Amino acid sequence: MSYPLEGIRILELGQIIAGTYGNQVLSDLGAEVIKVEPPEGDLGRIPSVGPYRGLSALFLTLNRNKESIVINLKSEAGRALFYDLVKVADVVVDNFRPGVLERLKIDYGILSRINPRLIQCSVTGFGAAGAYKDYPALDIIIQAISGHMAITGEPGRPPVRIGIPLADLSGGIYSCKGILAALFLRERTGKGSRVELSMFDAMLHLLGYIGTLWLTAGVLPKPPGSSHDYTVPWQAFAAKDGYLVVATRQDGFWKKLCGVLAEPGLAEDPRFETNAGRVENRADLVPRLERIFRTRTVADWLARLRAAEVPAAPVNNLDGAFAEPPVAEREMVVEYEDPEVGLVRLPGNPIRISGMAGTISKPAPRKGEHTDAVLARLLRLSASEIAALRAEGAIA
Q: What is the pTM of this model?
A: 0.94
Tell me the sheet residues that pair with 121: 93, 195
pLDDT of residue 1: 60
Q: Distance (Å, rounded) from C-alpha 128 to C-alpha 17?
A: 19
Q: What is the 3-state secondary structure (H, E, C) of the chain?
A: CCCCCCCCEEEECCCCCCCCHHHHHHHHCCCEEEEEECCCCCHHHCCCCCEECCEEHHHHHHCCCCEEEEECCCCHHHHHHHHHHHHCCCEEEECCCCCHHHHHCCCHHHHHHHCCCCEEEEEECCCCCCCCCCCCCCHHHHHHHCCCHHHCCCCCCCCCCCCCCHHHHHHHHHHHHHHHHHHHHHHHHCCCCEEEEEHHHHHHHHCCHHHHHHHHHCCCCCCCCCCCCCCCCEEEEECCCCEEEEECCCHHHHHHHHHHHCCCCCCCCHHHCCHHHHHHCHHHHHHHHHHHHCCCCHHHHHHHHHHCCCCEEECCCHHHHCCCHHHHHCCCEEEEEECCCEEEEEECCCCCCCCCCCCCCCCCCCCCCCHHHHHHHHHCCCHHHHHHHHHCCCEC
User: Quick check: is 228 catalytic?
Assistant: yes
Q: Which CATH number fits domain 9-207+326-391: 3.40.50.620, 3.40.50.10540, 3.20.190.10, 3.40.50.2300?
A: 3.40.50.10540
What pLDDT is recorded for position 49? 87
In 45-76, which positions are buried (b, 16+ CB within 10 angstroms) versus exposed (e)?
Answer: beeeeeeeeebbbbbbbbbbbbbbbbbbbebe
Start-end of CATH 3.40.50.10540 domains in the chain? 9-207+326-391
> Cis link prior to 233 (omega < 30° from 0)?
yes
> Using one digit for the tens of pLDDT, what is the confidence trace for 17-55?
999 999 999 999 999 999 999 999 999 999 998 999 999
Q: Where does CATH 3.30.1540.10 sit in the chain?
A: 234-315
pLDDT for 357 equals: 85
CA nearest to 243, candidates 259, 226, 266, 261:
226
Q: What's domain 234-315's architecture?
A: 2-Layer Sandwich (3.30)
One pLDDT digit (tens) per residue for the chain, 396 residues: 689 999 999 999 999 999 999 999 999 999 999 999 999 999 999 999 899 999 999 999 999 999 999 999 999 999 999 999 999 999 999 999 999 999 999 999 999 999 999 999 999 999 999 999 999 999 999 999 999 999 999 999 999 999 999 999 999 999 999 999 999 999 999 999 999 999 999 999 999 999 999 999 999 999 999 999 999 999 999 999 999 999 998 999 999 999 999 999 999 999 999 999 999 999 999 999 999 999 999 999 999 999 999 999 999 999 999 999 999 999 999 999 999 999 999 999 999 999 898 889 999 999 999 999 999 999 999 999 999 999 999 999
In whole angstroms, give the CA distance from residue 262 to residue 122: 57
